[in-house]
Amino acid sequence: MGFFDSPKIFKTHEQIRKALFLITSLDQKQKEIVYEALAGELDDNGVSAEEIKRVVRELRAKGLISEIDKASLLKLI
């Protein structure tokens, strides 16, 4: 791990799916959208807190998730 590498919150697809299952404000379609976005960040051995924040911010800006969903997703960090 380099000096600027941050710890990974999710290291597997299954960890992402389990975390999203717990967020009741997301419907199934939204869970799939969020899953695909986060799974795309697994390429460097996991998804960091910074990557989660960026993905959630982008999804909210596109109107794909609500402010409540955003808050719930950020609690995963």
Among residues 38, 36, 43, the alpha carbon closest in space to that of 53 is found at 38
| pLDDT tens-digit series, residues 31-42 | 999 999 999 999
| Alpha carbons 45 and 71: distance in angstroms, whole number | 25
This prediction's pTM: 0.89
Q: What is the pLDDT of residues 58-76, one digit of tens each?
A: 999 999 999 999 999 999 9
Q: Are residues 21 and 42 in contact, defined by beta-carbon separation less than 8 angstroms?
A: no
Q: Is residue 15 part of a domain?
A: yes
Q: State the Cα–Cα distance between residues 49 and 8, nearest whole angstrom.
A: 7
Rounded to the nearest 5°, which phi and psi values hold at 48? Answer: -85, 170
Domain coverage including residue 49: 9-74
Total domain count, the chain: 1
Q: Is residue 4 part of a domain?
A: no
- pLDDT tens figures, 7-25: 899 999 999 999 999 999 9
Q: Which two tokens stand for residue 8?
A: 């990974």
